[in-house]
Structure 1
Amino acid sequence: MRQILILALVALHLNAEPLTLESALIKAREHYPLHKNKDLLQKAQDLELVKLNMSYIPRLKLGAKATYQSDVTTLPFSSQTLNNLSGGNLNYKPLSKDQYNANIEISQPLFDAGNLWANRSLTKAKYSTQQAELESALYAVQTSVINAYFAALLLERQINQSEIHAKELGKNLATLQARYANGVANKSDIDKLKIEILQTQNTLANLTNEREIALSTLKELVGLEQDIELQTPRQSLDYLQSLEVESASFESRPEMRVFTLKTNEITISKNAETARFLPYIDAFFQAGYGNPALNILKSGFNSYYIAGIRLNWDFGNLYSLHQQSELRRMQILQNDAKKEEFLLNMRISLKSQIKRANNLQDKIHKDAQIIALQENLTKSAQAKLQNGVLSVNDFLSEINALNTLKLQNNYDEIELLKQIYEIYQSLNLWQNQQNQ
Structure 2
Amino acid sequence: MKRFTFILIVFASVPMLGQQNISLEECYELATTNYPLAKQSQLFEAQSKLDKAIISNSKLPQFSVDAQATYQSDVIEIPIPNTNIEALNNDQYRATLSVNQLIYNAGATDASIMVRAAQLKTQQKQVEVNLYQLKQNINQLYFSILLSQETQLLLAAKKELLQVKLGEVQSGIKYGVLLPTSDKVLEAELLKLHQQFSEVESNKASLIETLSSIIGKSLGDYTSFENPLLENQLNTNLNRPELQLFQLKKNEIESNEALIAKQNAPKLLGFATGGYGNPGLNMLDNSFQPFYTVGIKLNWNVFDWNSNKKQRESLSITKDIVDTETELFKLNTGIELNQQQQEIAKIESFITSDLEIIDLRKEVLKSADSQLKNGVITASAYITELTNLYEDENTLVTHKTQLQLAKANYNVIKGQ
Partner of 1:116: 109
Q: Distance in 2 between matches of 1:233 and 1:387?
A: 45
Q: Which amino acid aligns with 2:249?
A: K
- Corresponding residue SS for 1:300: coil
Tell me whether 1:249 sits opposite 2:220 in the alignment.
no
Partner of 1:43: 46
**CA separation of 1:294/1:51 partners in 2, compared to 1, >3 Å: closer, same or farther?**
same
Match among 347, 353, 373 for residue 360 of structure 2: 373
Q: Which amino acid aligns with 2:278?
A: N
| Contact preservation (8 Å) 1:16, 1:226 | no
Q: Which amino acid aligns with 1:116?
A: T
Alignment map for 1:273-352 (pairs within 5 Å)? 273-314=260-301, 320-352=307-339
Shift of 1:190: 2.3
Partner of 1:434: none
Partner of 1:4: none
| Contact preservation (8 Å) 2:141, 2:207 | yes
Q: Distance in 1 between matches of 2:97 and 2:176?
A: 117
Q: Which amino acid aligns with 1:222?
A: I
Partner of 2:162: 169
Shift of 1:296: 2.7
Shift of 1:202: 0.8
1:188-235 per-residue CA deviation (whole Å, 9 max, x = no partner) reads: 432222222211221111111111222222223223235321111122
Tell me whether 1:193 sits opposite 2:186 in the alignment.
yes
Tell me whether 1:140 sits opposite 2:133 in the alignment.
yes
Q: Distance in 2 between matches of 1:74 and 1:113?
A: 47
Partner of 1:229: 224
Partner of 2:29: 26
Normalised TM-score (structure 1):
0.86
- Corresponding residue SS for 1:229: strand
Gaps of 5+ in 2: 1-12
Match among 401, 421, 427 for residue 388 of structure 2: 401
- Corresponding residue SS for 1:13: coil
**CA separation of 1:11/1:406 partners in 2, compared to 1, >3 Å: closer, same or farther?**
closer
Deviates more, 1:366-375 or 1:267-276: 267-276
Q: Distance in 1 between matches of 2:366 and 2:14?
A: 36
Match among 377, 393, 398 for residue 411 of structure 1: 398
Match among 195, 198, 202 for residue 209 of structure 1: 202
Q: Which amino acid aligns with 1:57?
A: L
Match among 67, 70, 73 for residue 67 of structure 1: 70
**CA separation of 1:316/1:64 partners in 2, compared to 1, >3 Å: closer, same or farther?**
farther
Q: Distance in 2 between matches of 1:338 and 1:379?
A: 60
Q: Distance in 2 between matches of 1:393 and 1:16?
A: 38
| Contact preservation (8 Å) 2:75, 2:88 | yes
Shift of 1:156: 0.4
| Contact preservation (8 Å) 1:285, 1:305 | yes
| Contact preservation (8 Å) 2:208, 2:219 | no
Q: Distance in 1 between matches of 2:62 and 2:228?
A: 63
- Corresponding residue SS for 2:281: coil
Q: Which amino acid aligns with 2:164?
A: K
Q: Distance in 2 between matches of 1:176 and 1:57?
A: 95
- Corresponding residue SS for 2:409: helix
Q: Distance in 1 between matches of 2:99 and 2:71?
A: 27
Q: Distance in 2 between matches of 1:351 and 1:121?
A: 40
1:314-361 per-residue CA deviation (whole Å, 9 max, x = no partner) reads: 468556324423432332233233323322321221111111011111
Shift of 1:158: 0.6
- Corresponding residue SS for 2:16: helix
| Contact preservation (8 Å) 1:277, 1:318 | no
Partner of 2:408: 421
| Contact preservation (8 Å) 2:260, 2:312 | no
Gaps of 5+ in 1: 1-9, 84-89, 430-436
Normalised TM-score (structure 2):
0.90
Shift of 1:117: 1.1
Shift of 1:411: 0.5
| Contact preservation (8 Å) 1:73, 1:297 | no
